Structure 1
Amino acid sequence: MKFKKLSALLLSGAMCLSIAACSGGGETTPAPTTPAESGAPTESGAPAASDLNVAVFYYNYSDAFISNVRNEMDAQFEAIGITPSNYDGNTNQGTQMDQVNTAIANGANVLVVNAVEASADETTQSIVDAAQTAGIPVIFFNREVSDDVVNSYELAAFVGTDPAEAGHMQGELIGNYLVENYDAVDLNGDGVISYVMFKGQENNPEAEYRTQYSVEDANAILEEAGHPALSYYDSAASTQYLVDPNGSWSAAAAQDYMTTILSAYSEANGNMVELVIANNDDMGLGAITALQTAGYNQGVDENGEPLSTNIPVFTVDGLQGIVDAINAGTATGAVGQSASGLASAVVTLVQNYQADGDLMSNTEGMNVDETVAKIRVPYTTVS
């Protein structure tokens, strides 16, 4: 296939907040089906819509953004007459691989995968190999999969974002805000802004790039304005970020971290954390909960005046919870990604496959990488 870089962007849609109840993987494993038995394309053409058996694998239902994607995916598949079978990997790659094999054995003829360990090529390649053996397509989404894995199979594709884009956009938001509000943010008046970074998960491309570029780009803006670079709150730390130990990017992890931090770092001690950077909304909201418990980030009154000292909090995802927090004055800004845009691109590829057996045959108007079947859904800003 030949892929062309196109200038138009996928339209970002509204994000649904309700969480639908979905089924998990089956407990029994019947004999594997052949491509023809599973409804995969044969020499006579692609399967009819009524023959499509779509299995969607999520890394973790409890992830707020993934819950929105699941709601959107369910609704958009239902709109074209497909009821997908959904599986919760529960942040366990072994569980997810078992679910993939079970779904194929049960007759799934389209795999849509939000990989638990997307950065591990051997893991995602195993999923591709299973799809190729069955003669069915696999569409990865949200968590970046390597070009080599996608290019290893004609019926493999990826739908997601540009991992670096969110970091650059977040850094610009942070840098510009600090330049405009430097003295107010610099609580101890030492001329340097101290920050905490909630990274999320190690070795995840989105987490890596958001962590790197949000700080680098903010520093470039600060230094151009004559201010020093950001300073990590704990100068003795071996890494300048905190990760969720369960790999779930959770509010609970960030709240626990922030509560512990605030027991030692405070205005009274002259070392208060003056900026929170979180690589998703949930971790930002968890940090806000801890800040509010300590008397910070109480919002604004009817005249827009702050009710307390507010520590700026910046996040990525832009879901309704953080939008509400921004409107209430308890959060500062966010980079938003579109759950509906992501779901729409996945559903389009499934429709392409149903129409002529080629996932990428109808991708005009989308941002497609030049040398690999990857579609990029753009981010937005919320502030």
Structure 2
Amino acid sequence: MAATLSGCGNIKSIDNKTIRIGVSVYDIHDTFITQLMDEFNSYADTNVTIVTYNAGQSTKEQNNQMQEMIDTGCDVICINLVDRTEPEHIIDMALKYDVPVIFFNRELTKEDLQRSAKFYYVGSDAVESGIMQGELAADEILGQESTIDTNNDGTIQYVMLQGEAGHQDAIVRSEYCVETLINKGVQLDRQGLAIANFNRTQAQSKIEQLISSNIEIELILANNDDMALGAIDAYLNMYGEDAKSKIPAIYGIDGTIGGLEAVKTGYMHGTVYNDKEGQAHAMYDLAMALATGSSLDDLGIEDGHYIRLPHTKITLDNVNDFLYR
């Protein structure tokens, strides 16, 4: 399904022709992607047409959407890949029709991105987010007033809620988070690794299964806020009014509105802010520069292809700065 949207602001055109930007997202039900696209559309100029497609986690559907965006004359195409390991069809079409493509949020390989001077990536550094999540947890665990080690055995029993199997960002976030905790001197005992596909409902189901198995959980590390919120849902569903006293320390990544609200209320101990506003603005500004033939010099492009926005660690101390920005 495609939705045609236009934003507010100054009128932009090429020889009095409305600029048309096509966007295909891997799954519109991903909260972070939805909020990023909301920002992208609200930032857009009045006379720019943005057509957004939901691939519904289907590579075949996304390939069809790529062809439709080309056929309908999109000046620039933005792709949030369903599968970063299978971009060949999209790349081949872009090369055939000489269309500039901005890949975003799900990073394809360096070799694929370098196949055209008109290919770009806008996103963040997954390694940085994993490190920051590990630092957030380590700082609290090693703090003098920490209550995370509830059984006082000097080891933290933890569960990792990981995104899609084989997904590069999920693997990197998990690996560097745990590595950072260990390097900081935290003793860890993994009680479970649950693949929940970045999905809140799946995460709830996985954690409920672990709770029912009576394993001890002192810490839950989630690759994104939706899964962290799903973990909270599991405890609320299992324990009702007593849930808050049962919920372990939970950390997410993304800084979605729901995630920030959970930090503010204390259900989550922290998250890592993935700058959706910065990414949306950078993607739009790049798309407009490509569509109008304007200079790219001031857009912060690295290595000819990359725009990366930094992460920020979020705790109760600074959550309001991001929740109400």
TM-score normalised by the chain length of structure 2:
0.88
Q: Relative CO higher for 1 or 2, CA cutoff 8 Å, sep ≥ 6?
A: 1
Asked if the contact 1:167–1:209 (Cα under 8 Å) also holds between the matched residues in 2, the reply is: yes
- Residue 136 of structure 1: aligned partner: 99
- Residue 238 of structure 1: aligned partner: none
Q: 1:230 aligns with which of 177, 188, 191?
A: 188
Structure 1 residues 297 and 169: alpha-carbon distance in aligned structure 2, compared to 1, 3 A threshold:
farther
Deviation at 1:203, TM superposition (A): 2.2
Letter in 2 for 1:308: S
Asked if the contact 2:135–2:180 (Cα under 8 Å) also holds between the matched residues in 1, the reply is: yes
Unaligned runs of 5+ in 1: 1-20, 25-45, 235-240, 266-270, 300-306
Give the number of the structure whose residues are more often strand, by fraction.
2
CA RMSD after TM alignment:
2.2
Q: SS state of the match for residue 120, structure 2?
A: strand
Asked if the contact 2:131–2:173 (Cα under 8 Å) also holds between the matched residues in 1, the reply is: yes
- Residue 160 of structure 1: aligned partner: 123
- Residue 295 of structure 1: aligned partner: 239
Structure 1 residues 172 and 56: alpha-carbon distance in aligned structure 2, compared to 1, 3 A threshold:
same
TM-score normalised by the chain length of structure 1:
0.75
Letter in 2 for 1:373: H
Structure 1: how far apart are the matches of 2:78 and 2:166? 22
Q: 1:378 aligns with which of 300, 310, 314?
A: 310
Letter in 2 for 1:285: L
Asked if the contact 2:59–2:83 (Cα under 8 Å) also holds between the matched residues in 1, the reply is: yes
- Residue 272 of structure 1: aligned partner: 216
Corresponding position: 1:242 with 2:208 = no
Unaligned runs of 5+ in 2: 5-12, 316-325
- Residue 298 of structure 2: aligned partner: 364
Deviation at 1:176, TM superposition (A): 0.8
Letter in 2 for 1:242: A
Cα deviations by residue, 1:10-64 (Å, 9 ceiling, x for unpaired): xxxxxxxxxxx9529xxxxxxxxxxxxxxxxxxxxx9447342211000000000
Asked if the contact 1:161–1:378 (Cα under 8 Å) also holds between the matched residues in 2, the reply is: yes
- Residue 59 of structure 1: aligned partner: 26
Cα deviations by residue, 1:350-382 (Å, 9 ceiling, x for unpaired): 12113326xxx324362x333x41110111111
Cα deviations by residue, 1:59-114 (Å, 9 ceiling, x for unpaired): 0000000000111111122x252121110000111111011112212222311100
Structure 1 residues 214 and 182: alpha-carbon distance in aligned structure 2, compared to 1, 3 A threshold:
farther
- Residue 202 of structure 2: aligned partner: 253
- Residue 56 of structure 2: aligned partner: 90
Structure 2: how far apart are the matches of 1:154 and 1:48? 24
Q: SS state of the match for residue 53, structure 2?
A: strand
Equivalent residues in 2 for 1:284-323 (5 A)? 284-295=228-239, 308-323=245-260
Larger radius of gyration: 1
Q: 2:35 aligns with which of 34, 45, 68?
A: 68
Structure 2: how far apart are the matches of 1:83 and 1:314? 38
Structure 2: how far apart are the matches of 1:72 and 1:202? 29
